Amino acid sequence: MIPLSIRKKMINKDKRSASLSHQCDLLGIPRSTLYYTASTKSDKDLVLMKELDMLYLEDPTRGTRRMTKELRKLGYNTGRYHVRTLMQIMRLKTVYCRPRTTVIDPARYKYPYLLRNLDICRPNQVWALDITYVPMQKGYMYLVAIMDIYSRLIVGWSLSNTMEAEWVVNTLKTAISGYGKPEIINSDQGSQFTSDAYVDYVKSLETVKISMDGKGRATDNVFIERFFRTIKYESIYLHHPETGQELHEICTQFINYYNEKRDHSSIGDIPPIKAYRRAA
């Protein structure tokens, strides 16, 4: 096996050559190890962002005002506008436990939410797709994960230090090549999922329907949100990765364990892979 350091030098970044994602696949290089660079955020901001991430996992209903108050309780002197900027970078979406009195114009929704009152009774009926911020000792990255809702199986995931639509599409393509096409793919209304690249790709699948969460709803994508909380508290926050390669190894080990060995009470106290294969 060629060492990773040598394989990385074989990557050709000339725009006229094959895409970087394709070259990574051919050389067996995790995309995160190629793209990871130290964050340009200040050390103070990185500390604040980690605190915000933990506060969000504790209570995702906190908006910028409450987040600012919580940070001040912890001894951080920061303002609400700065907190809002950091939350936007982190892609933290405040959720609401109760119906909002403001009526959102349906025309502003890119696609409707198709899961309401839907009986999810088989694998590949519904996949959920989302992105989360991952704090590191010397920077941060983003994790995209795709879950089969029926079995809770993570059918695809990837790391990047940017949130490009192409990154999401390539991760989805890899998942479909391994598990086949789902009937519905549900996401939020983030720019990666409303982009032409994402929408055009899903439409090209012909039989796959696009579903999108309502703005600010707490329960629309709850299963994958729970997965993000689990992987952070049970693995990432315990190991404190310093590099993209370390983070990739941690995620690989945990997701393999989550899929193949971790029992879930909601699917009969068996691992997701057994629930997926049993019903497939």
- Average pLDDT score over residue span 3-16: 58
pLDDT at 51: 94
Higher pLDDT, 267 or 274: 274
Higher pLDDT, 240 or 16: 240
Question: Is the pLDDT assigned to residue 214 strictly greater than 90?
Answer: no
Question: Is the pLDDT assigned to residue 38 strictly greater than 50?
Answer: no
Length of the chain, in residues: 280
Examine residue 98 and state whether it is found in any structural domain, yes or no: no
Please tell me the total count of domains within the chain: 3
Task: Report yes or no: 95 and 216 within 8 Å, Cβ to Cβ.
Answer: yes
Neighbours of 150 (CB within 10 A): 21
Look up the CATH number of the domain holding residue 189: 3.30.420.10
pLDDT at 104: 46
Examine residue 106 and state whether it is found in any structural domain, yes or no: no
Examine residue 102 and state whether it is found in any structural domain, yes or no: no
Examine residue 100 and state whether it is found in any structural domain, yes or no: no
**Whether residue 220 is found in the same domain as residue 143:** yes
| Closest listed residue to residue 31, CA positions, set 149, 130, 173 | 173
Weakest mean pLDDT among 70-84, 100-114, 158-172, 219-233: 100-114
**Whether residue 123 is found in the same domain as residue 242:** yes
The angle formed by the CA atoms of residues 161, 166 and 169, to the nearest 5 degrees, is 110
Q: Is the pTM of this model over 0.85?
A: no
**Whether residue 49 is found in the same domain as residue 10:** no
Question: Is the pLDDT assigned to residue 248 strictly greater than 50?
Answer: yes
Examine residue 198 and state whether it is found in any structural domain, yes or no: yes
pLDDT at 220: 60
Q: The domain containing residue 169 runs over which residues? A: 119-279
**Whether residue 9 is found in the same domain as residue 148:** no
Q: What is the CA radius of gyration of the chain?
A: 19
**Whether residue 30 is found in the same domain as residue 57:** no
- Mean pLDDT of all residues belonging to the chain: 84
Token representation of residue 276: 């997926």
Task: Report yes or no: 4 and 222 within 8 Å, Cβ to Cβ.
Answer: no
**Whether residue 48 is found in the same domain as residue 16:** no
- Average pLDDT score over residue span 207-216: 84
In tens, the pLDDT along 77-95 reads 999 999 999 999 998 888 7
In tens, the pLDDT along 153-190 reads 999 999 998 888 999 999 999 999 999 999 999 998 88
Examine residue 238 and state whether it is found in any structural domain, yes or no: yes
